[in-house]
Amino acid sequence: MSGLQCLAAENIWFDKHRYDEAEKRFYEGANGPTTQQQQQSSSHGAGDQELVTRMKSLELENQTLHKVVEDMRAALQKLESRVAFLEKSPAPAAAPCAKAAPVQAAPVKQVNVTNGGDDDDDDIDLFGSDEEDEEAERLKQERLEAYAAKKAKKPTVIAKSSILLDVKPWDDETDMGKLEECVRSVQMDGLLWGASKLVPVGYGIKKLQINCVVEDDKVGTDILEEEITKFEDYVQSVDVAAFNKI
């Protein structure tokens, strides 16, 4: 027995899968699609809807771009037409220059010189006179002299300072009246002594506090201290308590 005959004798269902598929479709038609099929169908539907939306958006953008291109093309055509018109039109002729009016010389006044006498010669001044220049120079010199005199009379501002000196004696037995007399005996140009008073220092000792006004260019604090300390029998030291510009 050959192989085919053996297979024919066997009880085998070669088309079973077809019948199974047909049975499955029958029950699906009777009961409706399964949940998995519904999900697959809905997912396919959502994907199709998104694709449709994107296609519409692309179509709208495409239309907009087409409109922009058309507008640019129209503007370019207008520009080309304008350029062509300007190239064909002749350039305007330059306006003829106005003819310059002839310059007429001013009439020269003629002076008739006669020999009628010296009076006519005096009235005619052909070369001018230096009297006006001399008068202007004289006025200028007078003004300069007046300005210099005014400036010389103006008082010069003298810088002055007010100085308060503390003159200390050796001890409480020093004659303060004699000390002040010695201090005021210092005289020099630009120095003016003012008010004074005795200020207690301690242990019965008093110092002389005296004010003076000095011209800064003539008198300084150093020379004042040097002159006052020369009275070494009465003066121990000299200090500047206050210094103010006036």
Residue 5 in domain = no
- The model scores a pTM over 0.85: no
Question: Rounded to an integer, what distance in angstroms lies between the CA atom of residue 242 and that of residue 221?
Answer: 11
The burial class, CB within 10 Å (0-12 / 13-18 / 19+), for 203 is exposed
Question: Rounded to an integer, what distance in angstroms lies between the CA atom of residue 70 and that of residue 151?
Answer: 89
Residue 48 in domain = no
Residue 213 in domain = yes
What is the Cα gyration radius of the chain? 65
Residue 53 in domain = no
- pLDDT tens, residue by residue, 101-125: 454 545 544 544 444 445 555 555 5
8 Å CB contact between 214 and 227: no
Helix (H, G, I), strand (E, B) or coil at 208: strand
Helix (H, G, I), strand (E, B) or coil at 3: helix
Count: domains in the chain: 1
Q: What is the DSSP string of 113-151?
A: ---S-HHHHHH--SS--SHHHHHHHHHHHHHHHHHHHHH
Q: Say if residue 16's pLDDT is above 60.
A: yes
Residue 184 in domain = yes
Lowest mean pLDDT across 19-28, 86-95, 183-192 = 86-95
Residue 40 in domain = no
Q: Can you give the residue range of the structural domain that contains 233?
A: 160-245
CA-angle at 154, arms to 152 and 160, nearest 5°: 115
Q: Say if residue 157's pLDDT is above 60.
A: yes
Q: What is the CATH number of the domain that holds 206?
A: 3.30.70.60
Question: Rounded to an integer, what distance in angstroms lies between the CA atom of residue 227 and that of residue 126?
Answer: 80
8 Å CB contact between 214 and 161: yes
Residue 206 in domain = yes
Residue 231 in domain = yes
